[in-house]
């Protein structure tokens, strides 16, 4: 799957009505890190530090450079407000909206801790947000980490460069710093944030040797790449991937593949589009930010002049499915899955058009899929979900198990009580406020059943972060994934239900095609 398919999928995220505003910090709390002293705040016993710079502002001469060290500061730096979001064209129906100011100066992270003192050795959970690599931030209310932190973990969210600011390659940039990795600046930011965690999290009570990365959609896809990246080695010990794909093949830095030119060629096309007569590195970095941003977003992929994330050979050495199949990924515990109705809210004519394009990419083997799925709109939704999200999750769980590492597979099928008459299943990103246990704060009309599901699924996620196994007392046993049984945990409206995958037969048919999307 090209990155544009996942980007288009992200347009499906239905907005959640926003509930109460952020709580006010009750009392100050200080922490000393490598760059200076931070002054955060506590609410109901949970310490929060927001707007912490984890890398220097990537502006001017640092635009399209790997993240650089933060200059130290004197005195106490206030850390009770989120920093700027990275420049983007916000999506009007984002399920996790943010209203923070937009700026190129945006490399900030936020954390919540139940202790905020050195030496506590708590598990750490680092969230990587989705948004098709063009939108999103670490600041939305749905991602607030206080309720997870109350379960005994330190929670970190952060911003990373998006769109052309985060994913851009050009021959002139390669000549300017030939020894530096090129193109995937957003992924380099993610690695820099994890390096910051490794160096500093102990000051907030976290254990740098027990870090779990978790993320959704493009964030989940990024985690899969980090599991294959030499640059991220040893920076985290467990991974949770929510609706992260895994069969998608990214644009190559120097090589044209399928129907797409190389990232360098696409970057050169953008320079011409931007009117840069002499495309040296200085001229490229002088392009106005508004021009770099353009109209790029979840609706408009600008595929002729925007590459998206790149297989560059250094940060991203290759395609995820191939690397996992060769057992060259990090051999760590993996919790992975997808939702029951990722695309269910799409209008039928859009869904049919998207599915038709997917089947065309599969070639002649895809023609037999109608015999499995039928031709109706609901069947097309199943086909698209299976191809893009569900079967890749199972495939990667199989590969992880074959590599000798444990894997746990899930399906999130829970629909909020207030939406059950209108929605047949759980849509894209709908699991997030349950994972963060923020459903009561971000969704109006949340019921006791909704809140209980949030308590339960967040317990599983925290249990996994704590020990590499989601199981614990007081909740149904989640069987470790095994290819012969295909067992998973289905989070249903009747609670967590372990057992065989009801979609196994049709997923077997998809897997037999060995799809590349």
Q: Both ends of the chain: CA-CA distance in Å?
A: 3
Say how many CA atoms lie within 13 Å of 122 toward its Cβ: 27
Question: What is the structure's pLDDT at 18?
Answer: 35
Contact in structure between 517 and 2 (CB atoms under 8 Å) = yes
Question: Is 94 domain-assigned?
Answer: no
Contact in structure between 310 and 169 (CB atoms under 8 Å) = yes
CA distance 251 to 259: 10
CA distance 130 to 82: 18
Number of domains in the chain: 1
Question: What is the structure's pLDDT at 37?
Answer: 98
Sort 63 into a burial class: Cβ within 10 Å, 0-12 / 13-18 / 19+: buried
For the domain that residue 231 is a member of, what is the CATH number? 3.40.50.1820
CA distance 280 to 176: 8
Query: How distant, in Å, are the alpha carbons of 20, 23, 82, 151, 325 from that of 337?
Result: 30, 32, 30, 23, 18
Strands (E) in 297-358, as ranges, are 310-311, 334-339
Annotation marks residue 98 as catalytic: no
Question: What is the structure's pLDDT at 346?
Answer: 73
Q: In 403-469, where does DSSP find H-type helix?
A: 432-435, 439-442, 448-467
Question: Is 217 domain-assigned?
Answer: yes
Nearest to 100 by CA among 60, 158, 55: 158
Question: What is the structure's pLDDT at 352?
Answer: 78
Annotation marks residue 428 as catalytic: yes
Question: What is the structure's pLDDT at 470?
Answer: 98
Question: What is the structure's pLDDT at 92?
Answer: 80
Helix (H) or strand (E) holding 491: strand 488-492
CA distance 193 to 67: 9
CA angle 414, 128, 7 (to 5 degrees): 75
The residue behind tokens 């809210």 is 345
Contact in structure between 15 and 93 (CB atoms under 8 Å) = yes
Structure-block tokens of residue 195? 């390096």
For 15, which DSSP code? P
Q: Which of 25, 216, 242, 342 is catalytic?
A: 342
Nearest to 128 by CA among 68, 50, 64, 212: 212
Q: Which of 95, 98, 137, 217 is catalytic?
A: 217
Annotation marks residue 217 as catalytic: yes
Question: Is 23 domain-assigned?
Answer: yes
CA distance 289 to 161: 13
Q: Which of 129, 170, 249, 428 is catalytic?
A: 428
Question: What is the structure's pLDDT at 366?
Answer: 61
Successive 10-residue mean pLDDT values, the chain, 517 residues? 47 39 68 97 96 98 98 98 98 84 98 90 98 97 98 98 98 96 98 98 98 98 98 98 96 90 97 95 98 94 96 98 97 98 79 77 66 74 90 98 98 96 92 97 92 98 98 96 94 97 90 82
CA distance 416 to 455: 14
The pTM of this model reads 0.94
CA dihedral 259, 261, 266, 269 (to 10 degrees): -90
Contact in structure between 17 and 10 (CB atoms under 8 Å) = no
Question: Is 517 domain-assigned?
Answer: no
**Residues spanned by the domain of 171:** 3-89+99-512
Question: Is 152 domain-assigned?
Answer: yes
């Amino acid at each position: 799957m090209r990155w544009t398919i996942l980007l288009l999928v992200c347009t499906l995220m239905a907005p959640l009505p926003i509930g109460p505003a952020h709580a006010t910090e009750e009392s100050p709390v200080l922490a000393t890190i490598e760059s200076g002293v931070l002054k955060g705040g506590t609410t109901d016993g949970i310490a929060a530090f927001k707007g912490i710079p984890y890398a220097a502002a990537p502006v001017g001469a640092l635009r399209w450079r790997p993240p650089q060290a933060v200059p130290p500061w004197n005195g106490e730096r206030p850390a009770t407000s989120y920093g700027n979001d990275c420049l983007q064209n916000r999506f009007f129906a984002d399920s996790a909206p943010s209203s923070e100011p937009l700026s190129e100066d945006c490399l900030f992270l936020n954390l919540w801790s139940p202790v905020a003192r050195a030496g506590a050795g708590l598990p750490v959970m680092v969230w990587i947000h989705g948004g098709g690599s063009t939108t999103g931030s670490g600041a939305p209310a749905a991602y607030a980490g206080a309720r997870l932190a109350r379960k005994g973990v330190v929670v970190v969210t952060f911003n990373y460069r998006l769109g052309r600011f985060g994913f851009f390659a050009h021959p002139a940039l390669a000549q300017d710093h030939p020894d530096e990795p090129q193109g995937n600046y957003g992924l380099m930011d993610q690695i820099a944030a994890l390096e910051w965690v490794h160096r500093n999290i102990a000051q907030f009570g976290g254990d740098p040797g027990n870090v779990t990365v978790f993320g959704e959609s493009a964030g989940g896809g990024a985690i899969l790449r980090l599991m294959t990246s030499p640059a991220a080695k040893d920076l985290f010990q467990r991974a949770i991937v929510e609706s992260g794909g895994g069969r998608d093949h990214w644009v190559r830095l120097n090589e044209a593949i399928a129907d797409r030119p190389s990232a360098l060629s696409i970057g050169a096309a953008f320079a011409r589009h931007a009117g840069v007569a002499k495309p040296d590195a200085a001229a490229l970095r002088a392009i106005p930010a508004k021009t770099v941003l353009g109209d790029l977003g979840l609706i408009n992929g600008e595929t002729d002049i925007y590459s998206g994330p790149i297989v560059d050979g250094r940060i991203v050495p290759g395609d995820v499915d191939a690397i996992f199949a060769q057992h060259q990924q990090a051999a760590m515990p993996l919790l992975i899955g997808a939702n029951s109705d990722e695309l269910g809210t799409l209008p039928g004519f859009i869904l049919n058009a998207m599915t038709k394009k997917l089947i065309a990419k599969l070639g002649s083997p895809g023609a037999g899929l109608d015999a499995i799925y039928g031709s109706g709109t609901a069947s097309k939704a199943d086909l698209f979900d299976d191809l893009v999200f569900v079967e890749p999750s199972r495939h990667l769980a199989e590969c992880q198990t074959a590599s000798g590492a444990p894997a746990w597979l899930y399906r999130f099928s829970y629909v909020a009580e207030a939406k059950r008459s209108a929605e047949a299943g759980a849509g894209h990103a709908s699991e997030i406020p349950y994972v963060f246990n923020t459903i009561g704060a971000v969704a109006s009309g949340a019921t006791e059943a909704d809140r209980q599901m949030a308590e339960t699924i967040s317990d599983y996620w925290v249990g996994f972060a704590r020990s590499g196994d989601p199981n614990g007392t007081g909740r149904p046993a989640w069987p470790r994934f095994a290819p012969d049984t295909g067992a998973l945990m289905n989070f249903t409206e009747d609670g967590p239900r372990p057992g065989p995958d009801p979609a196994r037969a049709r997923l077997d048919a998809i897997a037999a095609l060995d799809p590349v999307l």
